[in-house]
Structure 1
């Protein structure tokens, strides 16, 4: 899983909303509970981080935002093949070197994953 299927809203420094469709053809479903396939939580968290990078303020060339911390992550329901995940992140606090977000992932209007505090820090890209 590398890109969103759709980006609905981006306001740098404020918020972002993106959509990921969960196709039943993902290879992870062959091994992640094959009789009851569910999307692994770490892949959902990765999508949240990607959406947070969209919402984060721009960084100078040669820098990027990297995950520093995720607190109070709650997986409330499963994400299954055929689901349409709506990933929403909102900036809580931003400094020059770090941005803190809250996030929610919903399916059909119901939150399946929430993150109370996700922090990205600015990192220099190795040449």
Structure 2
């Protein structure tokens, strides 16, 4: 199963920050078991929404130069409140440090103005061809798909871009 945990990018500043949202619906399959009678977004998926938003910021900043961005490390992650169906998780990240292929981002996610989860993450970007040259075509296909997804999430005429 694949999770898309960013529904819309609200604000994007190249090389600096991103604000995105995830609208939690009771239709999300994972809520059927988490938890019966008290559906809440799993903490790991709250962190994944942060990772996905951070990856969009990195891709936008680097003009989609890399096909793959993965979570390398989490730091000081704090969970403060639940995200329940019908609520919107607003994710904000800012770049703290960028060292080669590693990017450290500070993140805060809120529900109705209350912090739900916060912390720092380190993301690593690379192309599959870096280790396996025969994967270059896969990189190109992946980047094309990502650009298409990005164009659905981000409309600079509707949001704030820098």
TM-score, scaled to structure 2: 0.72
Q: Cα distance, 1:60 vs. partner? A: 6.6
Counterpart position of 1:26:
28
Counterpart position of 1:94:
98
Which structure's residues are more often helix, by fraction?
2
* Displaced runs of 4 or more, over 6 A: none
Q: Cα distance, 1:5 vs. partner? A: 2.2
Alignment counterpart, residue 51 of structure 2, candidates 49, 52, 55:
49
Question: How many equivalent pairs are there?
Answer: 126
Q: Deviations over 1:50-76 (max 9, x none)?
A: 110122231774543211000111111
Counterpart position of 1:120:
123
Which structure's residues are more often strand, by fraction?
1
Contact 1:10 1:54 (C-alpha < 8 Å) held by counterparts? no
Note closer, same or farther for the CA distance 1:62–1:108 as it changes in structure 2 (3 Å cut).
closer
User: 1:59, 1:95 → 2: CA distance?
Assistant: 17
Unaligned runs of 5+ in 2: 130-134, 136-162
User: 2:63, 2:8 → 1: CA distance?
Assistant: 23
Superposition CA RMSD, Å: 1.7
Unaligned runs of 5+ in 1: none
Higher-Rg member (1/2): 2
Contact 2:5 2:48 (C-alpha < 8 Å) held by counterparts? no
Q: Deviations over 1:72-94 (max 9, x none)?
A: 11111111111111000110011
User: 1:63, 1:27 → 2: CA distance?
Assistant: 28
User: 1:33, 1:89 → 2: CA distance?
Assistant: 28
User: 2:71, 2:63 → 1: CA distance?
Assistant: 15
